[in-house]
Amino acid sequence: MEKTSTDTLPLTMISSEERETICIFGTGDMGRSLGLRMLQCGYSIVFGSRTPRMSSLLPKGADVLSYSEAAQKSDTIIIAIHREHYDFLTALTEVLQGKILVDVSNNLKVNQYPESNAEYLAQLVPGAHVVKAFNTLSAWALQSGALDASRQVFVCGNDNKAKQKVMDIAHTLGLTPLDQGALRAAKEIENYPLQLFPMWKVPFYLSACLCVFFFIYCVIREVIYSYVNDKKDITFRMAVSIPNRVCPMVALILLAVVYLPGVIAAILQLYRGTKYRRFPDWLDRWMLCRKQLGLLGLGFAFLHVLYTLVIPIRYYVRWRLGNATATQAITKKENPFSTSTAWLNDSYISLGILGFFFFVLLGITSLPSVSNSVNWREFRFVQSKLGYLTLILCTAHTLIYGGKRFLSPSSLRWYLPSTHIIALIIPCTVLVIKFILILPCIDKVLTWIRQGWERSSKSSESAMNGKTDI
């Protein structure tokens, strides 16, 4: 696919094409950043200000005039002013008659005012064509050029010509305008930047719940159990040992949860015998936050690595080692070397290192700047094939670590199995189902379905009616 030149526009590039003049009201952060970007793209800029004098902060080449003088210089005026100060615009209604006013404002809270800022502006200046745009950008990103993940600009307005003009400007600035319809959509567009990490909410709550669950589970099974049964106080384990058990378990489960919706979707398609029926909403939403689940999982894996690296410098570990050596010296009994233990130990460490390496690789390739530079097939290869390899390595790492301990009846304490067994349920389920799905006889049917084949004639009809059939 060919990229437009504005897609990768460096900040210092000056377009040779001479474009029209655009007026910006307000010489604050947002006004200056938009102005700079527009100048670089070849527009002439005139700022409207209460105190019209050139300052070193303003981009070179721009003019600064009073609000009413500046408004006369252009048909397109960007209002880079906070909503609270809009009232002075009523005095300018005459000058603003028939002009395009671009509202870029945001609020501090969701639904702060009964009407959106853009609709409020339209009420204040009824003769102008108000268009909402650019509010999802940040002044900082505009200046630093760090717009990789956020080139999208939502645009809405009642006048189609005005809206198209603003979308053209956004295009020229190297942004991706998305038409959201009439000005009524402005409220939603204004609420959008106020949402705190919308895609991160579910992954975040899920990992928090998993952490709390595993932590309490470990405390009961290890600390409280030891205290009640052996009268031993090992509460200090809550600082490093137990977190180092919780982190890998949560990381492994989150990684498995990334691949679980994929296998559920495949089972649904096989069961329905068609791909032309919508997945349930929860599955769609789950699929959409897989990247966030994976990145959080990577975070926990990283913590696990750190906790593991500090083991040798811990007082408790040094004390135990020293004690064991002293006991051997006193009793003159040597602990014999066990090759099988050495093998098990080294293999689980090695599997862990490899698993972590591929996990990091997965995380890096999911970053927008990297995923933009690989094609769809490469991205699928990394996220699917390498993803499953990571899951296999991490599951094997946990299985070998638990080893024989899992199955011995002594590992049950108060009928509670080891945390490893619980943590392995989802990853093993995903891997087993995936293994069944890639068996040639099943894989063949699934591939047909994904290419549009349908099992029954009844569903063929629905295929012709489109994807929305339930």
352 contact, one of ligand NDP, Cu ion, none, CB 5-8 Å limit per kind? Cu ion
d(CA 157, CA 166): 10
Nearest distance, CB of residue 137 and ligand NDP, angstroms: 6
How many residues at the interface with Cu ion, by CB under 5 A? 2
Least separation, in Å, of the C-beta of 6 and ligand NDP? 20
Q: Could you give the string, one character per residue 120-139, with x where binding to ligand NDP holds by CB under 6 A and - elsewhere?
A: ---------------x-xxx
String of contacts with ligand NDP for each residue 72-111, x by CB under 6 A: --------xxx--x------------------xxx-----
Which of 81/210 has CB closer to ligand NDP? 81
What sign does the dihedral 384-390-392-394 (CA atoms) show? negative
| Complex with ligand NDP: residue 109 or 404, whichever CB lies closer | 109
The least CB distance from residue 280 to ligand NDP, in Å, is 36
The DSSP call for residue 383 is I
| Residue 31 near which of ligand NDP, Cu ion, none (CB within 5-8 Å, type-dependent) | ligand NDP
- Minimum CB distance to ligand NDP smaller for 138 or for 347: 138
Asked if 6 interacts with ligand NDP (CB under 6 A), we say no
Decide whether 30 or 298 has the Cβ nearer to ligand NDP: 30
Using the rule CB under 5 A, give the single segment among 154-162, 165-173, 248-256, 261-269 that binds Cu ion: 248-256
> How far is the C-alpha of 382 from the C-alpha of 389, rounded, in Å?
10
152 belongs to the binding site for ligand NDP (CB under 6 A): no
Nearest in space to 22 (alpha carbons), one of 153, 168, 126, 206 = 168
402 part of the interface to Cu ion, by CB under 5 A? no
Site stretch for Cu ion (CB under 5 A), options 181-189, 350-358, 386-394, 455-463:
350-358
Residues 6+ apart with CB under 8 A from 430: 256, 259, 260, 263, 391
Contact flag: residue 145 with ligand NDP (CB under 6 A): no
248 binds Cu ion (CB under 5 A): yes
Among residues 192 and 200, whose Cβ is nearest to ligand NDP? Answer: 192
Identify which of residues 34 and 394 has a Cβ nearer to ligand NDP in the complex: 34
Q: Is 297 in the site for Cu ion (CB under 5 A)?
A: no
Select the binding partner of residue 26 from ligand NDP, Cu ion, none (C-beta < 5 to 8 A, by kind).
ligand NDP
Taking a C-beta distance cutoff of 8 angstroms, is the pair 453, 277 a contact? Answer: no
Chain center to CA of 327: 53
The CA distances from residue 140 to 20, 143, 346, in Å, are 25, 5, 48
State yes or no: residue 243 binds Cu ion (CB under 5 A): no
- Alpha-carbon distance 362 to 18, whole Å? 44
Count of CB atoms within 10 A of residue 317's CB? 14
- CA–CA distance, 366 with 115 (Å, rounded to integer): 38
Question: Two tokens at 219?
Answer: 């405390």
Rounded to whole angstroms, how far apart are CA atoms 199 and 291?
A: 9
Give residues 350-389 in contact with ligand NDP (rule: CB under 6 A).
none
How big is the site for ligand NDP, counted in residues (CB under 6 A)? 20
Q: Of Cu ion, ligand NDP, none, which one sits near residue 418, judging by CB under 5 to 8 A according to partner kind?
A: none
Pairwise CA distance, residues 7 & 11, whole Å = 12
Q: Is 352 in the site for Cu ion (CB under 5 A)?
A: yes
State which residue has the least CB distance to ligand NDP.
28
- Residue 45 in contact with residue 38, Cβ under 8 Å? yes
Pick the closer one to ligand NDP by CB: 143 or 235. 143
Residues numbered 9 to 28 that lie near ligand NDP (CB under 6 A) are 26-28
User: Pick from ligand NDP, Cu ion, none: which does 248 bind, CB < 5 to 8 A by kind?
Assistant: Cu ion
Q: Would you give the distance in Å from CA 163 to the centre of its chain?
A: 30
What tokens does 70 get?
Answer: 């500046």
Q: 468 is in the binding site of which of ligand NDP, Cu ion, none (Cβ under 5 to 8 A by kind)? A: none
CA 49 to CA 51: how far, in whole Å? 5
116 binds ligand NDP (CB under 6 A): no
Of 29 and 188, which CB lies nearer to ligand NDP in the complex structure? 29
188 sits near ligand NDP (criterion: CB under 6 A)? no
Q: Is 13 exposed, middle or buried (0-12, 13-18, 19+ CB in 10 A)?
A: middle
What is the rounded distance in angstroms from the CA atom of residue 421 to the CA atom of residue 427? 11
DSSP state of 220: I
Q: What b-and-e string marks burial along 433-463, b requiring 16 or more CB atoms within 10 Å of the CB?
A: bbeebeeeeeeebbeebeeeebeeeebeebb
What is the binding site for Cu ion (CB under 5 A)? 248, 352
Residues that bind ligand NDP (CB under 6 A): 26-31, 49-51, 80-82, 85, 104-106, 135, 137-139
